[in-house]
Chain A
Amino acid sequence: MLNYIWFGLMAIALVVAAFLGTADAVTKGAIDSAKTAVEISIGLVGIMTLWLGMMRIAEAAGLVTMLGRALRPISRVLFPEVPPEHPAIGAIVMSIAANMLGLNNAATPFGIKAMEELQTLNPEKDTATNPMVIFMAMNTAGVQLVPATMLGVLVAAGSKNPTAIISTTLVATAIGTVISIIVAKILQRFYPQPGGSAGGIGGAAGDPARLSDVDEVQQ
């Protein structure tokens, strides 16, 4: 799917450019975006390093497992393939919580950590598992309690009642999130999971599996 969308966007751009004479804008779009992508990634190094370090302390102190255990009733429904004691659940909870509070620069490292933990349970490292897709659905739906950026935009434009959008945003994002999760649960039947239902076998394999991931994904 991503293969076709990726190629499609570029192919359409070329065809449209031929009609509208916007070839220079397409070139600029490509070069600027490549630069932006690297800037974003490098910009993540600092906060990534900080939060991955903090996350390791939280793990060693047993906080991540505790968090996972506390939210067991919810996680069992959303991520039945992940063993309840697995650190992935704690990482997922921390990432979603950071997202809800609008702490974007903490949410991304936590989210990546959660994906790494889910990857330790994955028998086929280049293919997404069901829990990964559910977690992605929750992230792309972007649950946020306070839409801080938008409040800023409205206030800057001189709005008399900027907070009017808080309730509408909450309802819209809640509907989007719930529907995304339901759609993911339905669609997963039509996209066979790697290794069948073997998603849960890695529970005891924690650390060694994580170390080997780093090498396996390089190719």
Chain B
Amino acid sequence: MIRAVLDAISLWAIPVLLVGIPLAGIIRKVKVYDVFIDGAKEGFDVAVKIIPFLVGILVAIGMFRGSGAMAMLTDAIRPILSAVNFPPELFPLGVMRSLSGSGSLAMTTDIVKTYGPDSFLARAAATMYGSSETTFYVLAVYFGAVGVKKTRHAVPTALVGDIVAAIATVAICGWMFL
């Protein structure tokens, strides 16, 4: 039921917004087309302004992934994870989730295929993917768009949030599915 409502919202939200916003404008006597063009002009500049920030971040992450450093990190930390009951299979995904959207999607799909879609690990991996965002991509795009270079406490805040979400994922999935 709730699912059906949410699905309907996801399906209709964009077309309704695309008509609803100009409709509100017409009612308020706004010259909707002129105003639209005026705002839309900024689109290209904003997208282009993001390029240097995104290239910088994604290249560093691409090099890190390519080198095999991720696998080394996982191996080094495996004993600690086992000691605190964090499934070692999920750790690389936890790290990758903050770094790369496509990388973590590939990892999640791989876990789902390897352990079966209704296994604890598959559900925990899917929950981990769905409950967080690609932190460094988000930071690069949004701060890049306005040219902010000194990000103050944004990175530590986001990383603590990611760690908490990963731990919460394992705890909740363990409680629900084990």
> Which A residues are closer than 8 A to B by beta carbons?
1-2, 5-7, 9-10, 12-14, 16-17, 20, 22, 25-30, 32-34, 36-38, 40-42, 44-46, 48-50, 52-63, 98, 101-103, 106, 108-109, 111-112, 115-116, 118-119, 125-128, 132-133, 135-137, 139-142, 144-150, 153-154, 157-173, 175-177, 179-180, 183-184, 187-188, 190-191, 193, 213-214, 216-218
B contacts with A: majority SS: helix
> Which B residues are closer than 8 A to A by beta carbons?
3, 6-7, 9-10, 13-14, 17-18, 21-22, 24-25, 27-28, 30, 32, 35-51, 54-69, 72, 105, 108-109, 112-113, 116-118, 122-123, 126-133, 135, 138-139, 141-143, 145-158, 160-162, 164-165, 168-169, 172-173, 176-177
Instruction: Report yes or no: B56 in contact with A6, Cβ–Cβ below 8 A.
Output: yes
B28: min CB distance to chain A, Å: 4
* Residues of chain A with a CB closer than 8 A to B123's CB: 164-165, 168
In angstroms, Cα B43 to Cα A216, docked, is 18
In angstroms, Cα B39 to Cα A153, docked, is 37
Q: List 22 A-B residue pairs with CB atoms under 8 Å apart, sorted by A's residue number.
A: A6-B57, A9-B60, A12-B69, A37-B57, A53-B35, A53-B40, A55-B39, A57-B22, A61-B25, A63-B24, A112-B145, A127-B152, A128-B148, A128-B151, A148-B10, A162-B117, A176-B131, A176-B164, A180-B157, A180-B158, A184-B153, A213-B147
Instruction: Report yes or no: A128 in contact with B45, Cβ–Cβ below 8 A.
Output: no
In angstroms, Cα B3 to Cα A161, docked, is 13
Closest B residue by C-beta to A172: B131
Instruction: Report yes or no: A154 in contact with B127, Cβ–Cβ below 8 A.
Output: no
Q: Which of A61, A116, A167 has the most CB of B within 10 A?
A: A61
* Residues of chain B with a CB closer than 8 A to A40's CB: 54
In angstroms, Cα B60 to Cα A27, docked, is 11
* Residues of chain A with a CB closer than 8 A to B113's CB: 157
Closest B residue by C-beta to A177: B161
Closest A residue by C-beta to B57: A6
Taking A17-B67, A49-B44, A146-B3 as given, write out 13 further A-B residue pairs in contact, using a Cβ cutoff of 8 Å, ordered by the A residue number: A16-B67, A44-B50, A52-B40, A60-B35, A61-B27, A61-B28, A111-B142, A126-B147, A133-B157, A150-B126, A153-B112, A177-B161, A187-B157
Q: Which of A44, A125, A167 has the most CB of B within 10 A?
A: A44
- Contact partner, A57, options B7, B39, B130, Cβ 8 Å: B39
* Residues of chain B with a CB closer than 8 A to A16's CB: 67-69, 72
In angstroms, Cα B153 to Cα A193, docked, is 10
* Residues of chain B with a CB closer than 8 A to A20's CB: 67-68
Instruction: Report yes or no: B62 in contact with A29, Cβ–Cβ below 8 A.
Output: yes
- Contact partner, A37, options B36, B51, B116, Cβ 8 Å: B51
In angstroms, Cα B174 to Cα A157, docked, is 21
* Residues of chain A with a CB closer than 8 A to B151's CB: 1-2, 128, 133
- Contact partner, A33, options B21, B45, B59, Cβ 8 Å: B59
